[in-house]
């Protein structure tokens, strides 16, 4: 796995070298922190407890980049990090754009696969377990929450319903703008979810299918997105 960095790509991160060095030293063992595997732009640290785990054979400079201005329609205000404990397991390259927020609770475990990308305004709230498979892609303003924060109570029995459940996202999933991924969600590999999809424990997904609607259902079969392929971008936008 080789990652190349051009000077123009790295330049915005140089201005935030001091908080970047601090963050790496705080969250990683020194043998890894000295490589600066995590680069930050405009970071705001709310809490930095817990730890980040990266295998030594994967750890390298610029493996994780957070806070870059990925979409000019949204604020260029970096990234907020609220690590209240727990663990972030990094298994490969991650790019999280500006105006994003990551929160990991005291016992939460966030696991990110290789080539995970969020262009802007991603919110992650991890208090139990969230697994994002390889090549997971998030459009604008997506939310991933493994807790609904407030338990419900049954009228007849007084029993409390659990407020959260683990989330497991398959590889090569693409979530369009304003998707919400809620407690208990589990998806197949090679799924696409359209604008405003709300995924819950009851969501059924199929590989190589486009999903959407409320409740989420299959819209079309036989499609998937591989971002690395030539022709991935709409020429009307990128020409």
Question: Domain residues for 110?
Answer: 7-238
Res 219: pLDDT: 96
Res 70: pLDDT: 83
Whichever domain contains 77, its CATH number is: 2.160.10.10
Separation of alpha carbons 112 and 103, rounded Å: 14
The answer to whether position 181 is within a domain reads yes
128 three-class SS: coil
CA atoms within 13 A on the CB side of 229: 7
The answer to whether position 157 is within a domain reads yes
The answer to whether position 1 is within a domain reads no
* 40 beta partners: 66
The answer to whether position 81 is within a domain reads yes
Length of the chain: 239
Cα 229–Cα 233–Cα 234 angle in degrees, nearest 5:
140
Both tokens of residue 218? 């299959």
Separation of alpha carbons 79 and 15, rounded Å: 15
- The 8 Å CB, 24+ separation contacts for 111-117 are 112/88, 112/136, 113/171, 114/1, 115/227, 116/92, 117/227
The answer to whether position 2 is within a domain reads no
The answer to whether position 115 is within a domain reads yes
DSSP 8-state assignment for residue 28: S
Burial class (CB in 10 A: 0-12, 13-18, 19+), 165: middle
Domain total in the chain: 1
Separation of alpha carbons 208 and 222, rounded Å: 5
Alpha-helix residue ranges (DSSP H) falling in the chain: 7-14, 17-27, 30-33, 235-238
Pairing type for strands 160-161 and 152-153 reads: antiparallel
pTM: 0.93
Burial class (CB in 10 A: 0-12, 13-18, 19+), 196: middle
The Cα diameter of the chain in Å comes to 64
pLDDT (tens, 9 = 90+) of the chain, 239 residues, equals 445 666 677 888 999 999 999 999 999 999 999 999 999 999 999 999 999 999 999 999 999 999 999 889 999 999 999 999 999 999 999 999 999 999 999 999 999 999 999 999 999 999 999 999 999 999 999 999 999 999 899 999 989 988 899 999 999 999 999 999 999 999 999 999 999 999 999 999 999 999 998 889 999 999 998 777 667 888 888 76
Both tokens of residue 87? 């663990």
């Amino acid at each position: 796995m080789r990652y190349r960095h051009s000077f123009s790509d790295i330049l915005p991160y140089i201005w935030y070298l001091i908080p970047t060095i601090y963050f790496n030293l705080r969250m990683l063992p020194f043998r890894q922190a000295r490589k600066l595997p995590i680069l930050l732009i405009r970071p705001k640290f709310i809490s930095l407890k817990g730890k980040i785990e990266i295998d030594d054979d994967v750890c390298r400079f610029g493996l994780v980049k957070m806070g870059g201005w990925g979409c000019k329609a949204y604020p260029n205000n970096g990234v907020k990090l609220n690590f209240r404990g727990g663990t972030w397991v990094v298994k490969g390259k991650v790019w999280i754009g500006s105006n994003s927020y990551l929160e990991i609770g005291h016992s939460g475990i966030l696991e990110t696969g290789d080539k995970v990308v969020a262009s802007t305004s991603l919110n992650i709230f991890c208090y139990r377990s969230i697994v994002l498979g390889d090549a997971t892609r998030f459009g604008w303003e997506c939310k991933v929450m493994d807790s609904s924060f407030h338990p419900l109570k049954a009228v007849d029995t007084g029993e409390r319903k659990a407020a959260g459940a683990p989330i497991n996202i398959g590889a090569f999933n693409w979530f369009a703008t304003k998707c919400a991924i809620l407690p208990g969600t589990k998806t197949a590999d090679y799924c696409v979810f359209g604008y405003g999809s709300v995924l819950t424990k009851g969501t059924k997904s199929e590989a190589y299918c486009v999903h959407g609607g409320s409740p989420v259902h299959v819209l079309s079969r036989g499609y998937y997105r591989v971002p690395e392929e030539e022709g991935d971008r709409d020429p009307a936008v990128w020409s």
